[in-house]
Amino acid sequence: MLRNGLEPWHLLIVAIVVIALFGSKKLPDTARALGKSMRILKSEAKAMKETDASPGTDPRT
């Protein structure tokens, strides 16, 4: 048993429900779109972090 009470068969049930909801034909397209969205989110978060870390003018003046 894992720390949070999530067992492997719970993941199997979730996978079956996802396949039932989206269908096996749309699942690859959905996963691809999700991956693309995650990459965009990561790149935007990285850009924001770099912007915050860069030395700039003092906002109090």
Residue ranges of domains in the chain: 23-50
- Mean pLDDT over 14-25 rounds to 86
Q: What's the mean per-residue pLDDT of the chain?
A: 83
pLDDT band for position 58 (50/70/90)?
A: low
pLDDT band for position 50 (50/70/90)?
A: confident
Which residue type sits at 41? Answer: L
- pLDDT exceeds 90 at position 51: no
Q: What is the share, in percent, of the chain residues with pLDDT greater than 70?
A: 82
- Mean pLDDT over 12-25 rounds to 87
